[in-house]
Structure 1
């Protein structure tokens, strides 16, 4: 213990005979050392000590050291060690206690001793607000994404994720204002090494080339950086049409679908799920991106995802991945989209064979109820108001002996009280979509309800 105390005294520059300083006094002396010391080694030791203290004394370090830490990022960029200490400390301040990011490449939660300064979820929001008020701070982080050193680049991604979680809009605006900001982020997706949200979006938007810089992360060869870049995109693309458009035109669709293919489509892990969430964010209620997705022939690239062999083992992750893919498909043909967009996407889905694959899943055996329900909803919106698709669906037969029309089998399941309620509602929706603007289908249904001529004579 004496040895450890003497070590702290060396860092703080205090006399070992004096009384033990308070935490606030300790942080103050460390900050003074970071700002005033002319020796890089002294500043590095002080940053290391601040990092250690920030794990437990988040409030004290955040209140006094944030300016000093950003000063380090601006002026000591040539030393990756002190940079990593500064970024990690900011991560603890913004996001609370987490694993040491530079020493453990796989982030797993570690229980920490509860303290008043570390436990408050609002603390991170308050510190984030202070940090993003100066848009150059977010710009500085985007610049650090160009640093290839793992100890700098990955913590920088984690810090941006924390900022986006706390102040999404501000960070989005900052990134959009930074030239090439989204491109930098997208480059991370190619890496093969494994509280008011809107505010951070605004900061990112206001930083020139910010979005492009972020897109670069998708090209990083380290999977752990690429995967965290995906998490960053999940937050960044939420409910901000401007960022969604920029990300899409930074080649996001290509990169995301390439990752999905590399990971094994529906058989992939949580990385596939993250890619599909980003796709959904980019496409939902964004007609510009929907047109871009259709015209770029990306709908055709979804087909391998729907190849479901017989006797498939449905793991929880596989089911989740397929559910998100079905939701992506529904996003393109949603009744809430402009009619022209929905109609053109419906046409491509029929011509490319995507509707056929959906119908094969619909009629397959052993499909989990939630997957079947979402597939019925997807088929419903692909055929809704589209005569050619409705006509095709009327020819689909269930694999029964003798074969029965799929619509009849679905209606039989709708009136079966043993079926899940959500599935029965989906079948009703499918029936409504089949009849919507479908005069021939309506006439055929009416004909089945009328008595035949022989029945009339018998009466």
Structure 2
């Protein structure tokens, strides 16, 4: 793995060749190489070498990728989850002109197509194939393949076939693809033209048949579109365009046996597991020749069958009839209604023909067995019991079972049962279809049992079958009801979402309109109040009156503002006086505190009252300013309304005068704002004073506490002195009071001197 990242191309290329040999038929090594980032490195090498334009190195890398992915589900899942499918899209950007392609480019492109088929092979697990198909659609790989579908031929057709097989999304996209023709036609129609054209190569016709089968596989919508092109009500009356149904009918009744077989198998796939379309196809009428009445498609098939055409043609028609009649009692009734059909079948089965005819005999026995097993006994002459008696008399039960077994024992049957893609070495070997082999395997056993059952067992089985059919019908009915209810529910959900969004939009519109109406009402009321009863007659005198009113209000506002200025100046003077008082108070606080400063303490206690008075005055001033501000706002509203009125109704001179007054009002508003800022500064000064007051209060409280402590200490000292005096007296020492001590200090000193001498 390290060799893949080597900078030397020779070493890298030899590493690719070595890994090719190591990964052949070895799942363990394949997983190791894949999880060692081989996909990333190999895709990088392919891109570096030029994708499909690269040389032999690209081919070697593609072969190694095939070894890693083929029949290895874990590596395929890792490749898909690693988003490597998206990196395959540039491989097929090659254009439509393939004339100048080299042999190496063709080889590279074919290997790239094979790599795509490895990821979507029908032999892979259904879930893995489906996820890869969806990834190819979403990344645009399918679209890219459809653009080169006509230019690159068989390999691309087979690749597209398996990319769309069983995937409804991819099948719907393929149905919408148009071929690059003039006039543009659906790609399906153009491909069917090649299939029923005997001049086209055999491999191309087989590839187109496989593509058509994959398009119809588990695609009831596509089946209905094909069958609808055959119904009388939908056939193009002008005949300008050729439909798929017309091409299939033309191939079914042409002189080319291979076209007969391909058209019969393609039409059988349009009816596969779809009882409704089987009943609708009974309505198809064909014009055989001029002057003769039209015959049904079913009758025409049996007519050609009885004419003894080639074996390949008869095998194709018998497979179509068996598919058509199986699980469709109405189609069986129509088939038995033709009196020539049952004798023809019994005659074919009873004869001892050659080895080539044994396959036709087996298919005739299968068709007759289907006519018995799915018979609803609506025709008296061809009831189940009578058909069994006819087989017993004309053929014999053992002989009938033996002829029925010729089908599954045939070599071509076993080869067709292996894989869905038709692969035949020559047109002569083109006998069985893969889906038809599943039908034979399903019906061979039940038909053999039905031949040996008695009438009573048939009745019991018929009752059980009716019960099951009733049950199936009930289930189908309820499924249909549930499906319809789901569709209705989905439609109602969409309608609810739409109505909800519309309701929200309408609510928003109504809210907006209500607000606009309210604004208009407010403007109308203001105009009505301002203009008075004479607002209906708008003239020059009314404009003059309106201007006079505005001037009066402006002058009033000026007077009020002048009064406010005076009050503010008075307030500033009071604040200055208080500032001087505070300064004196601070100087007093800085002086030494003593217990005798009671007068200062009383003054300090009176200071908060003065501060509160000052605050109340400021609050009154603030209330007056707020009142003036509200009046100013009202006046501004009146001015705006009058401005709207004057601008809409007044003259040019009145508008100029009004604008001048508006400028004056604006100047007054600015002056008011400056006064408000002064008031805010005054409020901040008051806050500072309050902080200083609280500081002084704290200092006074602290000094008072210290004085109280000193008083307590003095009281304790007095008590100690008194106790000592009492002890001295008890000892006989004469103790004098403080007053005596002060008056006779000299006498005491003499006595003390005598005592010292005595000592």
TM-score under structure 1 length normalisation: 0.55
Q: Over aligned residue pairs, what C-alpha RMSD do you find?
A: 4.2
Residue 36 of structure 1: aligned partner: none
Residue 292 of structure 1: aligned partner: 173
Residue 373 of structure 2: aligned partner: none
Which structure 2 residue ranges, 5 or more long, are not aligned?
A: 180-184, 236-241, 341-759
- Check if 1:90 corresponds to 2:29: no
Residue 262 of structure 1: aligned partner: 151
Instruction: Using the TM superposition, give the Cα deviation of residue 347 of structure 1 relative to its aligned residue in structure 2, in angstroms.
Output: 4.5
Which structure 1 residue ranges, 5 or more long, are not aligned?
A: 1-69, 96-121, 195-220, 264-271, 451-459
Secondary structure of residue in 1 paired with 2:139: helix
1:186 to 89, 113, 116: 89
- Distance in 1, matches of 2:155 and 2:197, equals 26
Matched ranges for 1:4-403 at <5 A:
70-76=1-7, 79-95=8-24, 122=25, 124-132=26-34, 134-147=35-48, 148=50, 149-165=54-70, 167-179=71-83, 181-191=84-94, 193-194=101-102, 222-238=105-121, 239=124, 240-263=129-152, 272-295=153-176, 300-308=186-194, 312-313=198-199, 318-334=201-217, 337=218, 339-340=220-221, 342-344=223-225, 346-347=227-228, 353-368=243-258, 371-382=259-270, 385-386=276-277, 390=281, 393-395=284-286, 397=288
- Distance in 2, matches of 1:402 and 1:138, equals 65
Deviation track 1:319-362 (CA, whole Å, cap 9, x = no partner) reads 2321232232123334xx26456435654798771111122222
- Distance in 1, matches of 2:9 and 2:229, equals 50
- Distance in 2, matches of 1:346 and 1:286, equals 20
Residue 217 of structure 1: aligned partner: none
Q: How many residues align?
A: 308
8 Å Cα contact 2:209-2:262 kept in structure 1: yes
Instruction: Using the TM superposition, give the Cα deviation of residue 150 of structure 1 relative to its aligned residue in structure 2, in angstroms.
Output: 2.9
Instruction: Using the TM superposition, give the Cα deviation of residue 284 of structure 1 relative to its aligned residue in structure 2, in angstroms.
Output: 2.5
Instruction: Using the TM superposition, give the Cα deviation of residue 376 of structure 1 relative to its aligned residue in structure 2, in angstroms.
Output: 0.2
Relative to structure 1, the CA distance from residue 274 to residue 400 in structure 2 (aligned partners, 3 Å threshold; closer, same or farther) is: farther
Instruction: Using the TM superposition, give the Cα deviation of residue 448 of structure 1 relative to its aligned residue in structure 2, in angstroms.
Output: 4.6
Deviation track 1:52-103 (CA, whole Å, cap 9, x = no partner) reads xxxxxxxxxxxxxxxxxx2132342xx43433232223223334xxxxxxxx
Bigger helix fraction: 2
Instruction: Using the TM superposition, give the Cα deviation of residue 437 of structure 1 relative to its aligned residue in structure 2, in angstroms.
Output: 9.7
Deviation track 1:400-459 (CA, whole Å, cap 9, x = no partner) reads 999976543421343567743x75454234335656899997786566549xxxxxxxxx
- Distance in 1, matches of 2:147 and 2:291, equals 38
- Distance in 2, matches of 1:310 and 1:236, equals 30
8 Å Cα contact 2:4-2:12 kept in structure 1: yes
- Distance in 2, matches of 1:438 and 1:364, equals 27
Instruction: Using the TM superposition, give the Cα deviation of residue 230 of structure 1 relative to its aligned residue in structure 2, in angstroms.
Output: 0.8
- Distance in 2, matches of 1:89 and 1:439, equals 62
Deviation track 1:9-68 (CA, whole Å, cap 9, x = no partner) reads xxxxxxxxxxxxxxxxxxxxxxxxxxxxxxxxxxxxxxxxxxxxxxxxxxxxxxxxxxxx
Higher relative contact order (CA 8 A, sep 6+): 1
Instruction: Using the TM superposition, give the Cα deviation of residue 242 of structure 1 relative to its aligned residue in structure 2, in angstroms.
Output: 0.9
- Distance in 1, matches of 2:9 and 2:290, equals 63
Instruction: State which structure, 1 or 2, has the greater radius of gyration over its C-alpha atoms.
Output: 2
- Distance in 1, matches of 2:248 and 2:4, equals 52
TM-score under structure 2 length normalisation: 0.35
Relative to structure 1, the CA distance from residue 449 to residue 348 in structure 2 (aligned partners, 3 Å threshold; closer, same or farther) is: closer
Instruction: Using the TM superposition, give the Cα deviation of residue 143 of structure 1 relative to its aligned residue in structure 2, in angstroms.
Output: 2.7
8 Å Cα contact 2:226-2:244 kept in structure 1: no
